[in-house]
Structure formats: structure tokens, C-alpha cells
């Protein structure tokens, strides 16, 4: 990778911060929002099962209701839009046609049968809800980085009342778990200097 591209990527990571209050008068252009969502869609996923489903809220009344469900965090209500990232559950059942349809993109014949058998064993021995949610977090990270790259701020919201969010979205029971709320928009105030522990304190080479 060219040195200038490395520097550009690091600058994006340094610039991205958790915005705690957005400017409600500024809206994200539709093409920019779709760019961010595309970054989520193209994210890697375990077994290639694309565990995420995105619900985009733009109406003021929906954002305010979601803010209340997120313990009144103002960034939710002031955001240009909120993306509720849902983690698939029902579709991930080994007998759901969704699983075979997506695995069949990579495997065929006996290889597909073996992949399905392997997945069935994995599913039976895994906390599927936790696993699906972690996959959604990968998509969320890529979406926040993509947003920062085009000058759009974000805040990942992990504190919410699941029942209230489910009711707001009229979710079918058992189909999804709520993974994360991603607030997007333009920060009302510039972010401060990023504070992170040094690599020497975080990395161990063996």
C-alpha cells in the first residue's frame, strides 16, 4: 500500500470520534448515506452469512422515540439519521433456506452438504445471539470509518432498552436481536484530540 494511502487511512481513524450531539439542521445527502450503508453491506462475516439487517430512521418522531429508548442520549435525537443494526437470528437456523442460499454461493454438491453439516454442528454449540451481534459490530465499524472518510460524524450506541426498540420497529419476535444503534450526522462541536493507549501497552509479540 502506498505510504500516502496509509497516512490517509490513519488520519481518518484519528479524526473519527464519538459525537455526543449533532447539528439537527444538517442532513446527510442520500448518496452519502447509501455509501455508508454499502460499506456495511460489503463487510466480512462469519460463514459469509451477512448477519446484519439495517433499519434507517430519519423521521423526527422516530428519532425522538429511539432517543427515549436509548436512555435519552441526545445524539440519537439530534442525528441526521439513526441506523438500527439488527442481528439476524431466525434466518441463521440451519434449516432456514437462507443458510443454504448463502452457503451455495461458495459451495456446490458434496462441498455444500459438508458445509451445511459443519454449520449445523457450529450452530448447535454456539451462543448464536452473541455471535450474530459480534458480526454486526464488524459492519458498524466499517460504516463509521466510511462515514469519517467523507466528513460525516457518528456515534455507536450500545445502551438501549431492547423491548422499547423492538416495539418502535414492530419487530417480529425471535427474528432479530438488536445489535447496535448507529447515529450519523454532523457534530455540533468539533471533536477533541483522540485519546488512546499506546501500542506498546496493547500489543504482545510472541
- Helix 60-69, helix 162-169: angle, nearest 10: 160
Q: What is the pLDDT of residue 194?
A: 87
Return the ∠ at Cα 197 (arms to 180 and 186), rounded to 5°.
Answer: 45
Quote the CA–CA distance of 131 and 134 in Å, as a whole number. Answer: 5
Quote the CA–CA distance of 38 and 94 in Å, as a whole number. Answer: 27
Q: What is the pLDDT of residue 3?
A: 75
Q: Residue ranges of the alpha helices (H) in the chain?
A: 3-15, 30-41, 60-69, 74-78, 97-103, 109-124, 128-149, 162-169, 199-202
CATH code of the domain occupying 3-92+130-202: 3.40.109.10
Model pTM score: 0.95
Q: What is the pLDDT of residue 1?
A: 60
Quote the CA–CA distance of 34 and 40 in Å, as a whole number. Answer: 10
Domain ranges of the chain: 3-92+130-202
List the grid coordinates of 142: 466499517
Look at residues 73, 68, 74, 83 and name the one whose alpha carbon lies nearest to residue 28: 83
Contact 183, 82 (CB under 8 A): yes
List the grid coordinates of 128: 448464536
pLDDT along the chain (206 residues), means of 10: 85 93 97 98 98 98 98 98 98 98 97 98 98 98 98 98 98 97 95 90 96
Amino acid at each position: 500500500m502506498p505510504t500516502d494511502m496509509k497516512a490517509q487511512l490513519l488520519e481518518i481513524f484519528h479524526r473519527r470520534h464519538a459525537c455526543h450531539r449533532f447539528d439537527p439542521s444538517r442532513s446527510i445527502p442520500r448518496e452519502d448515506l447509501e455509501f455508508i450503508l454499502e460499506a456495511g453491506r460489503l463487510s466480512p462475516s462469519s460463514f459469509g452469512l451477512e448477519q446484519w439487517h439495517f433499519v434507517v430512521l430519519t423521521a423526527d418522531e422516530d428519532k425522538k422515540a429511539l432517543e427515549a429508548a436509548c436512555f435519552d442520549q441526545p445524539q440519537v435525537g439530534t442525528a441526521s439519521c439513526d441506523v438500527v443494526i439488527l442481528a439476524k437470528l431466525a434466518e441463521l437456523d440451519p434449516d432456514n433456506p437462507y443458510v443454504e442460499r448463502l452457503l451455495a454461493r461458495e459451495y456446490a454438491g458434496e462441498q455444500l452438504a459438508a458445509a451445511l453439516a459443519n454449520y449445523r454442528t457450529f450452530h448447535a454449540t454456539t451462543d448464536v445471539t452473541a455471535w450474530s451481534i459480534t458480526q454486526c459490530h464488524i459492519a458498524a465499524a466499517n460504516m463509521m470509518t466510511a462515514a469519517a472518510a467523507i466528513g460525516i460524524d457518528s456515534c455507536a450506541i450500545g445502551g438501549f432498552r431492547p423491548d422499547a426498540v423492538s416495539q418502535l420497529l414492530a419487530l417480529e419476535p425471535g427474528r432479530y436481536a438488536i445489535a447496535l444503534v448507529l447515529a450519523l450526522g454532523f457534530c455540533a462541536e468539533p471533536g477533541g484530540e483522540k485519546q488512546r493507549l499506546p501500542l506498546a501497552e496493547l500489543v504482545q509479540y510472541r
